[in-house]
Amino acid sequence: MKALLVRDLKLAFRAGGGFGLGIAFFLIVVILVPFSVGPESGLLTKIAPGVLWLGALLACLLSLDRILALDWEDGTLDLVATSPLPLEGVVSVKALAHWLTTGVPLVVAAPVFGVLLNLPPQGFLWLVVSLAVGTPALSVIGTFGAALTVGIKRGGLLLSLLILPLYVPTLIFGAELARRGAEGQDITTPLLMLAGITFGVIALLPFASALVLRMNLR
Amino acid sequence: MILRVKDVSVARGGVAVLEGLSFEIGPGQALVLKGPNGVGKTTLLRTVAGLQPPFKGEVDAPEEAVAYAAHSDGLKSMLTVEENLRFWAEVFAQSDIEKAIQAFDLAELRNRLAGSLSAGQKRRLGLARLLVTGRPIWVLDEPTVSLDTASVQLFANAVRAHLATGGSALLATHIDLGLDVTVLDVGPFRAKQGDAPVSGYDEAFL
C-alpha cells in the first residue's frame, strides 16, 4: 500500500506526471472571472466563494482520468489485481494520492487566489476549511468515476459527464460554507453536511470502485 | 502448491472460446499451451490468474500463489529500472531485487528510466518482476515476445531455476525454450460455435 502511494506521488512529480496542471487551471479560471464579470469589487466579493469553489472543482476534474487510465494502459492494473493488495485498498490509495497531488495544492492556493477576487478578510479561514473538508470527497468520487470508465478509449469526457452530477452536493455545501464564512453567518449546518458527505463517500465508495474495477478488468 | 483446472470453459466477451479443459500442474512441472491465435490462450491464462471467473468448471489455485505476466509489462516509463522492480517487490512484500537483476542481466540498466529501454529490455524487466513476487506458480502469456536469442536463454534459465526450486509454470508460447515440459495443444478444445452468447447484463453479475 505504502509502496503504491509513494510510487503514485513520485510519478505525479516527475515530468509528464500532471502535478501543477490543476492549480494552473484554477489560477486561470480565477483570473478570467474578473475579466468576464467586470472589475466591480462589490460584485466580485459577493461571488468570490462560489467562483473559487467552482474553479477548484473543475481543476480537480481535470486530472481524474489519470487516476486509473494510465495504470490500465500499461498493464499495471491487471498485475496489481493479481497481487496481494486488496482492490478496495488500491482505489483508496489512488484517491489519496490524487488528493495529495491535486486537492492539497488547491487548498493551499485558494487563499492567494481569494485576494484576486476581493474575498473579505473573514472569509479566508472558512474558504480553506471548506476546501480542506470537501476536496477529499471530490477525489474519492472521482476515483469511482475513473473505475467506471477505465478501459474506455477517450473515456475522459464520459467520466466528466458521470461525475459532475455526483459533485453537486459537495459543491452546494462547500460553496455555502465558504459564502457564510465570508458574510460572517453561522456555518454549522453546511460544515456538518459537507463533512458528512466526505466521510460517507470515504467509507462507502472504495467498495463500489473496487467492484466496478473488477468487472472492468474481466 | 498444485494448480488444478477441472473441465473449465472460458469465455471472451460473453462467447465461450475454449471448453472442457482439464490439467494439473504440480511442483517442478511446467505446462506449455499451444494453439492458433484467437483460440483463447490469453483468456484461459487470465482465468487461471483469477482476473475473470471461469465460464464453467473450476480453477483450483492455492491462495496468493499465482504470479501473472501479461502482454504488457506494467512498467512506469518515468521510473528507473530499479524503482520499477523495487515497487513490485514491495507490493509482494519481498525485499530482494538483486537476484532478479542478475538473472535478467539488468545491472547496467538499473538507473535508466524504463521509458528509455528498448522493447526487448522492457520485456526482460517485466519478466524480472516474476522473480520479485516470490510466488510459486508462474502464469505467463507469450513471455518471449521481442526477446533476442540470448535473452530467451536467460528466461529459459530463470524458468529452469524456478522449477528446480519446486515452483511451477503455465506458459503460452510458440517457441521452444529447450525445457523439459509438457505441451498441451488447446486447438481441439475450441468451443463449438453457435452457443448463445451471454448477454452483457447477465455477464456483469456472473
- Residues whose CB falls within 8 Å of the CB of residue A186, separated by 6 or more in sequence, listed in order: A180
Q: What pLDDT was estimated at residue A93?
A: 96
How big is the CA angle at A3 (ends B108 and A153), to the nearest 5 degrees? 90
CB atoms B79 and A4 under 8 Å: no
The count of C-alpha atoms lying within 13 angstroms of the C-alpha of B116, restricted to the half-sphere facing its C-beta, is: 9
In this predicted structure, the answer to whether residue A35 has a pLDDT above a threshold of 90 is yes
Contacts of A217 in chain B (CB under 8 A): 51-52
As a whole number of angstroms, the distance between CA B125 and CA A54 comes to 44
Interface size, chain A vs chain B, as Cβ–Cβ contacts under 8 Å:
72
Mean per-residue pLDDT over chain B, rounded = 88
Domains identified in chain A, total number: 1
Q: What pLDDT was estimated at residue B71?
A: 87
How big is the CA angle at A77 (ends A139 and B129), to the nearest 5 degrees? 130
Asked if residues A150 and A69 have their Cβ atoms less than 8 Å apart, the reply is yes
Pairing of β B3-12 and β B56-60: antiparallel
Give the ipTM: 0.87
Residue A70 lies in a domain: yes
Residue A178 lies in a domain: yes
Residue A128 lies in a domain: yes
Alpha helix stretches (DSSP H) within A14-99: 21-37, 41-62, 66-73, 76-81, 87-98
CB atoms A78 and B73 under 8 Å: no
CB atoms A3 and B73 under 8 Å: no
- Burial status of residue B158 (CB atoms within 10 A of its CB: 0-12, 13-18, 19 or more): buried
Q: Does A7 touch chain B (CB under 8 A)?
A: yes
Residue A64 lies in a domain: yes
In this predicted structure, the answer to whether residue B194 has a pLDDT above a threshold of 60 is no
Helix, strand or coil, per DSSP, at residue A39: coil
Q: What are phi and psi of A127, to 5 degrees?
A: -65, -50
Residue A1 lies in a domain: no
Residue A40 lies in a domain: yes
Residue A15 lies in a domain: no
- Residues whose CB falls within 8 Å of the CB of residue A210, separated by 6 or more in sequence, listed in order: A86, A87, A88, A90, A91, A147
Dump pLDDT digits (tens) for A63-119.
898 899 989 989 999 999 999 999 999 999 999 999 999 999 999 999 999 999 999
Helix, strand or coil, per DSSP, at residue B110: coil
Predicted confidence band of residue B141 (pLDDT cuts 50, 70, 90): very high
For chain B, what are the domain ranges? Answer: 26-50+63-182
For residue A115, what are the domain limits?
Answer: 23-217
Q: What is the CATH number of domain B26-50+63-182?
A: 3.40.50.300
DSSP B153-186: HHHHHHHHHHHHTT-EEEEE-SS--S---EEEE-
For residue B145, the distance in angstroms to the closest alpha carbon of chain A comes to 16
CB atoms A75 and B204 under 8 Å: no
Residue A10 lies in a domain: no
Cβ atoms within 10 Å of B178's Cβ, excluding its own: 11
DSSP character at residue B46:
H
Q: What pLDDT was estimated at residue A208?
A: 97
A63 or B204: whose pLDDT is higher? A63
DSSP character at residue B197:
P
